[in-house]
Amino acid sequence: MGKLKLGVLISGRGSNLQALINACREPAFPAEIVLVISNRADAGGLARAEAVGIATKVIPHAQFPDREAFDMALDESLRGAEVGLVCLAGFMRLLSAGFAERWRDRLINIHPSLLPAFKGLDAHAQALAAGVRLSGCTVHYVTPAMDAGPIIVQAAVPVTPDDDEASLAARILDAEHVCYPLAVRLIAEGRVRVSEGRAVIAGGGPCGPALINPRA
Ligand code: GRF
């Protein structure tokens, strides 16, 4: 069977894109990146793709009259590249309901919190303001409602008393770089099924014991 073809959508530095590039370099990894699209010409992630010969495309959202027209252009490029799974990786545009429906169960995102807690833009600040002892990241399917689709993979990290947004973001980002390739692999292996709004993972055993913070 051929590899699952990924289209990765970015707006910025692209460290999650890099994690996917690194994973795809492994010969046994069941997916390959065929196209990287950015809505910003200055996204640092574009150079990461170009450095390894992955096709890139800039589709500036400001050049379109509305969200639907922009999303149609995205859709056309993704279909042109025969993409089978779209991975949002720091893509800072909300997608239209029509796009989410067209790519239903073939569109995933990574978010820097343990959803459904702390949806939206400032997830790290929200976690710090709430005083939670654990936060983390979530890879989930994208549905028309923001940050609310079926959860595929989560990782928890501790929040320490002296954390600020930058230190918490860095700790979560390390976990993101493990979780995103894992989610893609599970999907590419055909082990993820969406049933009644939840993602069911075939053969997914439980992880280690509980992460308890503080330790005392
Ligand atoms: C990550 O924290 C991701 O969870 C969020 O946007 C950030 C993107 O970072 N959606 P990068 O561009 O992948 O480095």
Whether the Cβ atoms of residue 74 and residue 60 lie closer than 8 Å to each other: no
Q: Does residue 81 have a pLDDT over 90? A: yes
For residue 12, the ligand 1 atom closest to its alpha carbon is: 12
Beta strands, E only, 89-146: 107-111, 134-141
Q: Determine if the pTM surpasses 0.85.
A: yes
Q: What is the distance in A from the centroid of ligand 1 to the CA of 88? A: 9
pLDDT in tens, 128-168: 999 999 999 999 999 999 999 999 999 999 999 999 999 99
- Whether 108 shows a pLDDT value over 90: the answer reads yes
pLDDT given for residue 209 in this prediction: 80
Protein residue whose Cα sits closest to atom 1 of ligand 1: 90
Q: Is 126 exposed, middle or buried (0-12, 13-18, 19+ CB in 10 A)?
A: middle
The verdict on domain 109-216 having CATH code 3.60.21.10 is no
Residue 12 CB contacts under 8 Å (≥ 6 apart), including other chains: 40, 43, 44, 45, 90, 92
Best mutation site among 110, 114, 142, 174 for ligand 1 pocket (most ligand atoms within 8 Å of CB): 110
Q: Is the pLDDT of residue 207 over 90?
A: no
Domains of the chain, by residue range, sit at 1-103, 109-216
43-68 in b/e burial notation, b at 16+ Cβ within 10 A?
bbbbebbeeeebebbebebeebeebe
Given the structure tokens 């239209």, which residue do they identify?
96
Kindly give the number of the ligand 1 atom that is closest to the alpha carbon of 110.
4
Domains 1-103 and 109-216 share a fold: yes
Scan for tokens 């939670």, then name that residue: 132
| CATH classification number, 1-103, choose in 3.40.50.150, 3.40.50.620, 3.40.50.720, 3.40.50.170 | 3.40.50.170
Q: Is 12 near ligand 1, meaning CB less than 6 Å away?
A: yes
Indicate if the pLDDT at residue 5 is higher than 90: yes
pLDDT in tens, 45-60: 999 999 999 999 999 9
44 Cβ below 6 A of ligand 1: no
Mutate which of 118, 137, 173 for ligand 1? The one with the most ligand atoms within 8 Å of its CB, which is 173
Cβ contact 185:162 at 8 Å: no
